[in-house]
Structure 1
Amino acid sequence: MLKKITCLQFSKTFYLTVLALLMVFSIMAQEKPEVKIGGALRFNYNLSSWKEGQKKRGGDFGYDMFRINTKAAYKGLFLNAEYRMYADGFGGGFLKQGWVGYNFNELEQIHIGLTQVPFGIQQYNSHNWFFNLTYYVGMEDDHDMGVKYLHTGEKFEYQFAFFKNAEELRFGNNTETSPNRYSYDIAGRDKEINQLNGKFVYKFGKESLSRLGVSLEYGGLYNLDTEEMGDHAAFAAHYEITKGKWNGKAQFITASYNPKKTEGESTDVVTMAAYGAPYEVAADFNLYSLAISRNVAVEKGPVSNLQFYNNFAFMQKKASGFTDSYMNVTGVLISAGSVYTYIDYAAGYNHSWLGGNFVDDFSKGNADVEWEARFNINIGYYF
């Protein structure tokens, strides 16, 4: 069993590590600074089966997101940052990622700041615009504040990380985590703190590249009301294969959250938040996902490639009386120069973003609901 470590011990180790690393970085040399600026502008059309008014007017087409990406390097350090601006109803503007790094050599790196959590298939466990169900419970493309070490070898990859907390936008003594964020994290009266992550991947195959891996996560959950420390843990086994024009991703996750809530509050659910709004998630679940895609090269005007895909996921909730959640997305990504267009048919059952009541679809759910679907076209110019 993992031994619990106090916040004070974690904090002391964290800050001493950062100080030592900065001292090492300061002696490295690079003559000229390098800066690269990029970004994207995206628009979105959607037609949802559960929105009667929208169906009568033939769907809606509007602004999705504008982002700025910055990469820089100077004196041995490098930086990677991405700031996104959504509509106010989806959280407005916030930092998706932002970290300073250093290459020890061709195989080893370290990142400090708001960096991707090394867990599961990365960068994405999906091919479509919606991501997979893993994203909506904080297990895909998650970013937290901490330090991460990466080793990328020919046969083996491994990462180790310590995260002090999720991206923190409010620094009051008992302030809840802001929902205006990109990654889904624990919110409400609990806070993720002092999280440890480890990930190991073995690569093999000649005609096809296979990536077989496992991921571990363990951290604290600090409750603002009881001022007591709970914990959370997760394990993932994952496999990805790329053979010619085909790509497949398979993953199993088991996760458990154990908050120290006030007497009378249910410990079967936790609150998570992103894009400006919180919702409930089952505190104990298994999650199975399977994704497959195939590229088709074309030469028709600016269009150079079509990627067809199907991504499926099933969330098995362990609490008695809870109804499971499902998600399936079938679609195609059209590549035309700097313009990338996702055309998706996304279906969900007890899914907050696909026809649910939003509040408790990923927790207790509703056995009487039906599958709902959303036809979606996302057009983005990436520069």
Structure 2
Amino acid sequence: MFSKITLIIGLMLLSTGAIYAQDKPELEIGGALRFNYNLSSWKDGQKKRGGDFGYDVFRVNAKAKYKGIKLNAEYRLYSEGFGGGMLKQGWVAYDFDPKNEIQVGLTQVPFGITTYNSHNWFFSMNYYIGLEDDHDMGIKFTHTDKKWNYALAFFKNAEEQRFGSNSDVSDARYSYDVASIDIDGDGILDFRNKEVNQVNGQLNYVIGNDSISHTIGGSGQFGGLYNLDTEEMGSHYAAALHYQLKYKRFGVKAQVTKYKKTTKGPAGESKQVVAMTAYGAPYLTAAAGQTYTLGVQYTLPVNWGPVSSLQFYNDYGYLEKVNSDFADSIMNVTGVLVTAGNVYTYFDAAAGKNQPWLGPQWTNGLADGATDANWEVRFNMNIGYYF
């Protein structure tokens, strides 16, 4: 498969009629410094001291372009407890013309609504099962036009940082991927799977104009899940239908997603759950389910000193698990994004049930969950200076 894709790319390069190049190299450096405050209903100690305020992330962005070849990279430095340093994205690209581009490297997976299927700082439910703003290692072709937009991609694997014959997936990553976890605390990793040889397709059709537009689309992906213990190949797939509305200052994002992960682990290891990881800490998720997400936003221009706009939003997400013995997961985030020059501040009231980041059910929240789980709330303020 990989050799066929390479051949197709080579033919496309040879058939290109025009090369878009500039005489001098271009380089753009940017980044951000962010701080975070949060107060969580399920953390008694935090409530007694009135929440916690601390360092979130420092990131550096680099963009370069020379003779038709482009570079786009973003490196993030989180605290050690959240995974430390990690490459969010990093790819080189070639523009065949203004509408067609090919990217190679750690690039965003073309699935669902991109770049984000949400408006808030927490993203949507899809992010936590690896189906929103995911970045993997591979090659992607994109076509962008006024009406039809599509992308085709092949990903050899997720971010690979260990190149041994039997190496587990590193927990230091930005986007969630299938991985391993020490479920019983004996120092030996369990549920040891890796994503390999994944293909993706995404198609969007745009109706409307600058005043009002509707974007209707569909996405699909299929790939392998290699088990490090049995050395056998399982599989995974996901499919989604999505819709976006943009009307003046108002916007809507809606998506329905179905996914399934079939593993070939050792005898006695549950096939109903898989381990996923990001930010230095793995957890379990249901191996099959459907998600339903709906987000709305309204942007209000203001003139309050440095404050130029307020974007109000509400994002809802529901994970319906195929296993009827599992408790479903829910999250809802209501908030406002305040823009003041180069400073962007998210004020979020995030509520959830069986959501690892919004309650005490970390390891099993997105897996079997708890049938008697209560609604938990996290008030979160993220302040970032972007340069």
TM bin, normalised by shorter chain, reads over 0.9
Assess, with a 3 A threshold, how the Cα gap between structure 1 residues 22 and 170 changes in structure 2: closer, same or farther.
Answer: farther
Cα deviation digits, residues 31-58 of structure 1 (max 9, x gap): 2110000000000011000011111111
Corresponding residue number in structure 1 for 2:335: 331
Corresponding residue number in structure 1 for 2:240: 236
1:316-327 aligned at under 5 Å gives the runs 316-327=320-331
> 2:65·2:71 contact (CA, 8 Å) conserved in 1?
yes
Equivalent of residue 310 in structure 2, options 285, 306, 310:
306
Do structure 1's residue 79 and structure 2's residue 71 form an aligned pair? yes
Instruction: Tell me how far apart the structure 2 counterparts of residues 217 and 177 of structure 1 sit (CA, whole Å).
Output: 20
Deviation of 1:320 (Å): 2.8
**Which residue type is aligned with residue 130 of structure 1?**
F
Equivalent of residue 171 in structure 1, options 163, 174, 185:
163
Do structure 1's residue 34 and structure 2's residue 36 form an aligned pair? no
Deviation of 1:65 (Å): 0.4
Equivalent of residue 275 in structure 2, options 271, 275, 296:
271
Instruction: Tell me how far apart the structure 1 counterparts of residues 55 and 15 of structure 2 sit (CA, whole Å).
Output: 44
Instruction: Tell me how far apart the structure 1 counterparts of residues 100 and 198 of structure 2 sit (CA, whole Å).
Output: 22
Cα deviation digits, residues 277-302 of structure 1 (max 9, x gap): 11101001000000000000100100
Cα deviation digits, residues 153-208 of structure 1 (max 9, x gap): 11100000000000101111000110100010010111100000000000002341
**Which residue type is aligned with residue 341 of structure 1?**
T
1:344-355 aligned at under 5 Å gives the runs 344-355=348-359
Equivalent of residue 81 in structure 2, options 82, 85, 89:
89
Aligned CA-pair RMSD: 1.6
Do structure 1's residue 202 and structure 2's residue 205 form an aligned pair? yes
1:133-148 aligned at under 5 Å gives the runs 133-148=125-140
Deviating beyond 2 angstroms after TM superposition, the runs of 4 or more aligned structure 1 residues are 10-25, 27-30
Equivalent of residue 193 in structure 1, options 188, 193, 196:
196
Instruction: Tell me how far apart the structure 2 counterparts of residues 369 and 138 of structure 1 sit (CA, whole Å).
Output: 23
Corresponding residue number in structure 2 for 1:6: none
Instruction: Tell me how far apart the structure 1 counterparts of residues 117 and 51 of structure 2 sit (CA, whole Å).
Output: 28
Assess, with a 3 A threshold, how the Cα gap between structure 1 residues 17 and 92 changes in structure 2: closer, same or farther.
Answer: farther
Instruction: Tell me how far apart the structure 2 counterparts of residues 209 and 83 of structure 1 sit (CA, whole Å).
Output: 34
Equivalent of residue 221 in structure 2, options 205, 217, 223:
217
Deviation of 1:329 (Å): 0.2
Equivalent of residue 61 in structure 2, options 62, 69, 75:
69
Deviation of 1:13 (Å): 3.7
> 2:256·2:290 contact (CA, 8 Å) conserved in 1?
yes
Corresponding residue number in structure 1 for 2:146: 154
Assess, with a 3 A threshold, how the Cα gap between structure 1 residues 243 and 322 changes in structure 2: closer, same or farther.
Answer: same
User: What TM-score comes out, normalization by structure 2 length?
Assistant: 0.94
Q: Which runs of 5+ in 2 are unaligned?
A: 181-191
Q: Which runs of 5+ in 1 are unaligned?
A: 1-9
Do structure 1's residue 356 and structure 2's residue 360 form an aligned pair? yes
Instruction: Tell me how far apart the structure 2 counterparts of residues 139 and 70 of structure 1 sit (CA, whole Å).
Output: 25
Deviation of 1:144 (Å): 0.3
Deviation of 1:21 (Å): 7.7
Instruction: Tell me how far apart the structure 1 counterparts of residues 52 and 217 of structure 2 sit (CA, whole Å).
Output: 41
Deviation of 1:125 (Å): 0.5
Corresponding residue number in structure 1 for 2:251: 247
Cα deviation digits, residues 212-251 of structure 1 (max 9, x gap): 0000100011111111111101100000001011010000
Do structure 1's residue 132 and structure 2's residue 124 form an aligned pair? yes
Secondary structure of 1:172's partner? coil
Instruction: Tell me how far apart the structure 2 counterparts of residues 163 and 378 of structure 1 sit (CA, whole Å).
Output: 32
Do structure 1's residue 55 and structure 2's residue 59 form an aligned pair? no
Cα deviation digits, residues 313-362 of structure 1 (max 9, x gap): 00000013100000000000000000000000000100101113310100
Instruction: Tell me how far apart the structure 2 counterparts of residues 20 and 192 of structure 1 sit (CA, whole Å).
Output: 28
Instruction: Tell me how far apart the structure 1 counterparts of residues 20 and 207 of structure 2 sit (CA, whole Å).
Output: 35
Do structure 1's residue 295 and structure 2's residue 299 form an aligned pair? yes
Do structure 1's residue 103 and structure 2's residue 92 form an aligned pair? no
Secondary structure of 1:112's partner? strand
**Which residue type is aligned with residue 301 of structure 1?**
G
Corresponding residue number in structure 1 for 2:183: none
> 2:20·2:96 contact (CA, 8 Å) conserved in 1?
no
**Which residue type is aligned with residue 115 of structure 1?**
T
> 2:361·2:369 contact (CA, 8 Å) conserved in 1?
no
Corresponding residue number in structure 2 for 1:376: 380
**Which residue type is aligned with residue 82 of structure 1?**
E
Secondary structure of 2:357's partner? coil
> 2:253·2:296 contact (CA, 8 Å) conserved in 1?
yes
**Which residue type is aligned with residue 156 of structure 2?**
K
Instruction: Tell me how far apart the structure 1 counterparts of residues 171 and 8 of structure 2 sit (CA, whole Å).
Output: 29
Instruction: Tell me how far apart the structure 1 counterparts of residues 59 and 15 of structure 2 sit (CA, whole Å).
Output: 32
Assess, with a 3 A threshold, how the Cα gap between structure 1 residues 269 and 158 changes in structure 2: closer, same or farther.
Answer: same
**Which residue type is aligned with residue 384 of structure 2?**
G
**Which residue type is aligned with residue 49 of structure 1?**
S
Equivalent of residue 180 in structure 1, options 167, 172, 187:
172
